[in-house]
């Protein structure tokens, strides 16, 4: 990785990944693009615009693309046709660009790539994938396309199936796991949170420093050790809203939670696994998360306290 382009760089994962990659590889070598770029970033890029994407790649001799631009699960379910357009036409443009310019690619898949027929506990790396959401359908199709471009054209396309991501720096938007971030802001501000998922909705989650570390470790892993290469299950913790609230109450004793279930997001969450098996990632490229539930909650609250 010498010259890196990030799409969707203003998003939750993108903004922190951009900062980490710039620290590690030099600001002059990391180019951040987004449909709505941050005020100090020059590249407004809609990933459906192939000529514009290619211009950036050619101008800066890009050799690696982190393709993060996508609509997330809840918003994709409200606008499925637009989600297919952005998520799939964006990805095929990026894959074609990688083929033409011999770039490596990071593509984030998700727990959404699974469906109700998948084993929900200890979800295997290789298992049945019949998602029922548009976001999940895009993710499975994306995983297959990445594998195809590797086998057919030799594009070094790698990726992870991320769980819900939790960060103290940038808020997510349009996802089903967003509650696990919103809850911290509400706890700090009003000591109360109205949760849109049921109390017992168990899902895999990960703290942002681990999510960034996973992406960079995978992209720099020795290719010879990768049997899967793409769509690795990765998780760091698995909890319900009730368990997260109980952990927050250890730090903020007066904190309360109520449940006002949103049927759309609840149905999405109910179709996802509760806890994935990520032994392939551990064995093939040394995945080791640093943050479990107690450490993540402590760090989140400390960071939010210092920024408010």
The enclosing H or E element of 193 equals: strand 192-195
Binding mask 76-105 for ligand AKB (x = CB under 6 A): ------------------------------
Minimum separation from the CB atom of position 153 to ligand AKB (A): 27
Distance, in Å, from the CA atom of 159 to the CA atom of 181, rounded to the nearest integer, reads 23
Minimum separation from the CB atom of position 84 to ligand AKB (A): 15
Rule CB under 6 A: choose which of 115, 175, 241, 289 binds ligand AKB: 175
52-57's contacts with Cβ under 8 Å and 24+ in sequence apart are 53/7, 53/93, 53/94, 53/97, 54/97, 54/100, 54/101, 56/5, 56/31, 57/5, 57/97, 57/101, 57/103
Minimum separation from the CB atom of position 176 to ligand AKB (A): 4
Distance, in Å, from the CA atom of 68 to the CA atom of 170, rounded to the nearest integer, reads 15
Rule CB under 6 A: choose which of 15, 64, 118, 176 binds ligand AKB: 176
CB 272 within 8 Å of CB 114: yes
How many chain residues are in contact with ligand AKB, going by CB under 6 A?
Answer: 12
Residue closer to ligand AKB by CB (options 103, 205) is 205
235 binds ligand AKB (CB under 6 A): no
Instruction: Kindly report the length of the chain.
Output: 308
Which of the stretches 160-168, 229-237, 239-247, 297-305 binds ligand AKB when contact is defined by CB under 6 A?
160-168
207 is catalytic: no
Write the DSSP assignment of 80-99 as a string of letters.
HHHHHIIIIIHHHHHHHHHH
Which among 25, 43, 135, 185 is annotated as catalytic? 135
Interface residue list for ligand AKB (CB under 6 A): 72-73, 110-112, 135, 162, 164-165, 175-177
């Amino acid at each position: 990785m010498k010259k890196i382009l990030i799409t969707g760089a203003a998003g939750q994962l993108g903004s922190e990944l951009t900062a980490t990659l710039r620290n590690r590889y030099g600001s002059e070598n990391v180019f951040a693009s987004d449909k709505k770029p941050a005020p100090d970033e020059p590249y407004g890029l809609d990933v459906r615009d192939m000529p514009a994407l290619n211009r950036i790649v050619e101008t800066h001799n890009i050799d690696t693309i982190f393709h993060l631009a996508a609509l997330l699960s809840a918003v994709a379910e409200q606008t499925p046709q637009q989600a297919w357009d952005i998520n799939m036409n964006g990805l095929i443009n990026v894959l074609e660009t990688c083929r033409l310019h011999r770039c490596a690619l990071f593509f984030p898949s998700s727990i959404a790539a699974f469906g109700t027929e998948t084993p929900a506990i200890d979800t295997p790396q290789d298992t049945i994938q019949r998602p029922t959401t548009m976001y999940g359908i895009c993710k499975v199709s994306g995983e297959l396309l990445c594998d195809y471009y590797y086998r057919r054209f030799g594009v070094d396309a790698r990726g992870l199936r991320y769980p819900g991501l939790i960060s103290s720096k940038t808020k997510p938007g349009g996802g089903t796991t967003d509650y696990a971030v919103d809850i911290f802001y509400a706890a700090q501000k009003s000591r109360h949170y109205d949760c849109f998922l049921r109390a017992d909705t168990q899902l895999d989650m990960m703290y942002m420093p681990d999510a960034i570390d996973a992406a960079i470790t995978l992209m720099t892993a020795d290719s010879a050790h990768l049997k899967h290469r793409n769509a690795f299950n990765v998780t760091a913790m698995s909890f319900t809203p009730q368990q997260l609230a109980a952990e927050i109450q250890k730090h903020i004793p007066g904190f309360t939670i109520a449940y006002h279930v949103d049927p759309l997001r609840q149905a999405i969450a109910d179709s996802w696994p509760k806890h994935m098996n990520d032994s392939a990632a551990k064995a093939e490229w040394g995945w080791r998360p640093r943050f479990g539930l107690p450490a993540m909650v402590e760090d989140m609250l400390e960071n939010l306290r210092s920024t408010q």
